[in-house]
Amino acid sequence: MALLELKNVNAGYGEFRVLFDVSAKVERGQIVAIVGPNGAGKTTTLRTIMGMTTLYSGDIVFNGRSITRMPTHKRVELGLSMVPEGRRVFRTLTVYENLVAGAITKRAWEKLEDTLEMVYNIFPKLKERRNQIAGTLSGGEAQMLAIARALMSRPDVLLLDEPSLGLAPKIVIQIFDVVKKLRDEAEKTILLVEQHVKHSLEIADYAYVLEQGRIVLEGEAQKLMKDERLKKAYLIF
Ligand SMILES: Nc1ncnc2c1ncn2[C@@H]1O[C@H](COP(=O)(O)OP(=O)(O)OP(=O)(O)O)[C@@H](O)[C@H]1O
Ligand SMILES: [Mg+2]
């Protein structure tokens, strides 16, 4: 059974429908990528999983339970966490204070020291810079902090919205390395939205291509990389 599953989801904002019959599965321990052009509905898909859009029909199942009708904070409590686009951090707070602010679930708060240690292990640089004001971090460091803060709630599944957007090529590589490490060493399950299709497919286990709110192609990432339709559409290889 998939850890997270969307079943025939139709969703949008008020009257404005964005997602049409989206069905997708995320297996435990995998990196699943969603790729597609601007405006396809990638962010909306993540927001729908978190309960931040209007859901017209369909079902979302997490860990064997339907979460379709649950408020966002309950979904976070159950083990879902999202890193929104644009590496948002509390700019006037220190790195440490940002991390503590992310420990919003009961289990995270009870194990704050453990959780911090786990996060500092993945991001040793954040430990070094724990007293630095977040607004003075570089773009790459701020993105690492945004991911680290989402991890502070001790999620099973991390939803990442374009973590590499606007970063220098060298930093992009580092971000993808971290995402891989989260699966391989921190045992996280990841749903990754990215514009860097090639990098994403290289680290992903499975991928979906979303266009105009519909899934138009899906498959094992390694196989998709060789798919002629994908190569043509994204001119990536
Ligand atoms: N808060 C909102 N209210 C109304 N419409 C919205 C809202 N957010 C997004 N949309 C619309 O939903 C559609 C899908 O947007 P979404 O942000 O999900 O696309 P995306 O695939 O993430 O694109 P990008 O690659 O540019 O981030 C777009 O037509 C967009 O204008
Ligand atoms: Mg988006």
**Whole-number pLDDT of residue 180:** 97
**Whole-number pLDDT of residue 65:** 97
Residue 35 contacts residue 200 (beta carbons within 8 Å): yes
pLDDT single digits (tens) 155-206:
999 999 999 999 999 999 999 999 999 999 999 999 999 989 999 999 999 9
Considering Cα of 231, then 42, then 222, then 175, what sign does the dihedral take?
positive
Evaluate whether the domain defined by 1-79+191-237 bears CATH number 1.10.10.10.
Answer: no
pTM: 0.95
- The residue to mutate among 18, 22, 87, having the most atoms of ligand 1 within 8 angstroms of its beta carbon, is 18
Spacing, Cα 41 to ligand 1 middle (Å): 6
Residue 41 pLDDT more than 80? yes
pLDDT single digits (tens) 84-143:
998 899 999 999 999 999 998 888 989 999 999 999 999 999 999 999 999 999 999 999
Domain boundaries, the chain: 1-79+191-237
Tell me which residue of 27, 72, 19, 79 sits closest to 45, measured CA to CA: 19
- CA 205 from centroid of its chain's CA atoms: 15
Residue 235 pLDDT more than 90? no
Residue 236 pLDDT more than 70? no
Residue 44 Cβ inside 6 Å of ligand 1? The answer reads yes
The pLDDT of 76-87, averaged and rounded, is 95
Which residues neighbour ligand 2 (ion) by CB within 5 Å?
42-43
- In the chain, DSSP finds a helix count (H) and a strand count (E) of 11, 10
What is the DSSP code string of 146-163?
HHHHHHTT--SEEEEE-T
